[in-house]
A = this chain, B = another copy of it.
Amino acid sequence: MVPAELWFTERQNDNLTIGLRIRKILHSEQTEYQTLDVVETVQYGNLLVLDGCVMTTDKDEFVYHEMIAHVPMHTHPNPKKVLVVGGGDGGAIREVVKHPSVEKAVLAEIDERVIENAKRYFPQIAQGFSDPRVEIQVTDGIRHVQEHPGEYDVILVDSTDPVGPAAGLFARDFYQAVYNALKEDGLFVAQTESPFVNQDLVRGVFQDVKSVFPITELYLAYVPTYPTGMWSFTMGSKRYHPLRDRQPARTADTRYYTEAVHEAAFTLPRFVEELLKG
């Protein structure tokens, strides 16, 4: 008898899937906002799935979380107050609090169940929550941003894909609200999908951010469990430039980020450069 095989298959779009062999399904629930599943995969360890989309895995989460956090944090000379919109797994804020200048790091996550399940099934990702400088707010990130003008040095938009609860995080109005929530020398970064398959979105977000912020730059990182493995992040900044104003590394506790990686991440393949031109 051939033993049964258990596989998790994500439909990354209508025409593309990634499949991961799983040892077992650890948890499934319908939260107030989305479906939430946790499965144990052979390749990548535990996997968090929201509305059927891969969010993070034990084995490759370091890439995304280090790159969404350390690039903007090392662009700001003295980030004291930081906001993470979304990011309920805790990985981004874990990296944020590696910066000694941080006095307060607020997590504005709409779905408390993401936080609770991260603590249970991804303790090494959620470990940042225990830092005394971290404040967890279960709230709509859009409203939080609107209600805190001029308050933050750095804002990270660590969202799900631009469908469901995160759709409003990919709109020009939101980037304007983020601009307003930043101090006069503040900056922000958002995850902005793959330039190989989400070209309209990458271009649209870049143009929208550019229409709001004087400095707009896109950078890339290798995230194996996201579609195509090439992931983009878009930075909008009021004053500091990610290359000209880059700060010396404040932590050696990274597995992907280095000073050289920070610089190289902004070097774009020609087709991505051309995509951003318009």
* Interface residues, chain A, with chain B CB atoms under 8 Å away: 7, 9, 13-21, 41-43, 60, 62-63, 196-197, 220, 222-224, 227-230, 254-258, 260-261, 263-264, 267-271, 273
Contacts and interface: CB of A to CB of B under 8 A. Distances in A.
Identify the 5 closest CB pairs spanning chains A and B, nearest first: A229-B229, A17-B19, A264-B267, A224-B228, A264-B264
Contact of A60 (B20, B196, B261): B196
How many copies, total?
2
A196 B224 contact: yes
A223 B228 CA distance: 7
B15 A43 contact: yes
A258 B196 CA distance: 18
A31 B107 CA distance: 58
B21 A41 contact: no
Contacts of A196: 60, 222, 224
A267 B266 CA distance: 12
Contacts of A13: 43
A20 B18 CA distance: 9
